[in-house]
Amino acid sequence: MIHCEGCSKDYNPEDMQVNTTEVNMRDGTKRHILFDGKLCCDFWDDTAPGDWVPLASGEEVQLAHWMCNACCGVYNHDMIHEVIDTEYDDTLSSIVCSSCLKRHKERFKRKA
């Protein structure tokens, strides 16, 4: 059996789409956690870089790596910013790296 740390269910290996994710722990360490890619694929949807999210166990973790929506690079959470992308919609937020934020100052506005 494989344990999903998002929903706390146990799955047979053939029934689970295993998704391994690196997270930051409150004590400053990192570890990999397992999610079911079918049922818990939206686990991180409502989080922003730096947010602490409780697992099913109650333990809080922080997503360690984020993808920049502008250059598609993957960066540590402290190199990512949640901004407004004025090129598309002034109400939708976007996740961008520090380099893209600096390079496209006129396009991205920091969220207030």
pLDDT in tens, 28-59: 999 999 988 888 888 888 888 999 999 999 99
Confidence of residue 75 (pLDDT cuts 50, 70, 90): very high
CB 22 within 8 Å of CB 64: yes
Identify the three-state secondary structure at position 41: coil
Rounded to whole angstroms, the Cα distance separating 101 from 97 reads 6
- The domain spans of the chain are 2-63, 67-110
What mean pLDDT do residues 5-34 have? Answer: 92
- Residue 93 tokens read as 């937020």
The single-letter DSSP state of residue 101 is: H
Judge whether 76 and 95 are in contact, CB under 8 Å: no
* Distance, CA of 23 to CA of 49 (rounded, Å): 12
- The pLDDT-based confidence of 27 (bands split at 50, 70, 90) is very high
Tell whether the model's pLDDT for residue 90 goes beyond 80: no
